[in-house]
Amino acid sequence: MSRSSSASPVVTGTGPRPGWVEVVVGLVVLAAVAYGGGPLVLRTLDPGPLAGGLFLAALSGIAGIAGFAAAVAVRRRPLPEFGVRATSVRWLLLGAAGAVLAFVVSRLLVVGMVALGIEPENIQGAYADAGSGGAWSVALSLLFLAVLTPLGEELLFRGVVTSALLRYGAVVGVLGSAVVFALAHGLNVVFLTALVVGLVAGELRRRSGSVWPGVVTHLVHNAMAQVVALAFAGVL
């Protein structure tokens, strides 16, 4: 493949790509599920740290899938317009390599914050609680955080948001969707990690025309992050 063809965005299929309607609907449904329904369930059931952590670990993936499904249902565009299309093993391997890059860069940024006297708030302690019940809870936490969450979030943020914003060019498409993705995680230390992952996954989406390399990036990154979190918590 020539350099020019490999760098060309492949974002369309048989019809018009998603637009602002899909973006707004998808994000509103995500917010309603993740920040509305999820906390309500926790307050109502009060399941305890372990079950609550597992619930939160699954919630972002469920919310992302719900947002994506709602966006697709708005105007029923073909799934390839959202990047849900086959890709090559080469792109999947690049996705895995991108995960390692994103992991290293984001951790260096956090170290830089600490060196500057900025102490990041640990808002993801519940994810360590999700693996505190033994081998079965570790397996479930990895399933939710390293499989379900990447799938749901990539379908929504790269499949819908990046696809829509790429109509304004590569910079807006990749950087804009990464910022939206990071903001969805809140203004905290996770913002930096989400921004880096979003940039890598968005560029893979743009270049490959598929969401699957970004899913691999997100999957491998989250798996490494959860293993490290469980190790520091003394679970592993």
Residue 225 has pLDDT above 70, yes or no: yes
The alpha-helical segments, DSSP class H, found in 76-176 are: 89-115, 125-129, 135-143, 149-156, 163-165, 170-171
Question: Locate tokens 């372990």: which residue?
Answer: 50
Residue 236 has pLDDT above 70, yes or no: no
Residue 8 has pLDDT above 50, yes or no: no
Q: Which of 124-138, 150-164, 203-217 has the lowest mean pLDDT?
A: 124-138
What residues have CB less than 8 Å from 40, skipping those under 6 apart?
Answer: none
What residues have CB less than 8 Å from 175, skipping those under 6 apart?
Answer: 199, 202
Report the SS3 class of residue 107: helix
Q: Which one has a higher pLDDT value, 136 or 82? A: 82
Q: b/e for 175-192, b at 16 or more Cβ within 10 A?
A: bbbbbbbbebbeeebbbb
Place 14 in a pLDDT band, splitting at 50, 70 and 90.
Answer: very low
Within the chain, what is the greatest distance between any pair of CA atoms?
57
| pLDDT at res. 143 | 93
DSSP 79: G
Residue 110 has pLDDT above 90, yes or no: no
Place 190 in a pLDDT band, splitting at 50, 70 and 90.
Answer: confident
**Torsional sign, CA 62, 225, 108, 210:** negative
In this structure, are residues 174 and 158 in contact, taking their beta carbons and an 8 Å threshold?
A: no
The identity of residue 45, as a single letter, is L
Instruction: Over range 30-58, report the average pLDDT.
Output: 86
Report the SS3 class of residue 30: helix
Q: Which of 116-120, 146-150, 192-196 has the lowest mean pLDDT?
A: 116-120
Q: Which one has a higher pLDDT value, 128 or 19? A: 19
Q: By percentage, how much of the chain surpasses pLDDT 70?
A: 86
**Torsional sign, CA 224, 160, 164, 179:** negative
Question: Locate tokens 């990539």: which residue?
Answer: 154
Residue spans of the domains in the chain: they are: 3-232
Instruction: Note the pLDDT tens digit of each residue in 46-89.
Output: 878 788 888 888 998 999 999 999 999 999 889 999 999 999 99
Q: Which one has a higher pLDDT value, 132 or 104? A: 104
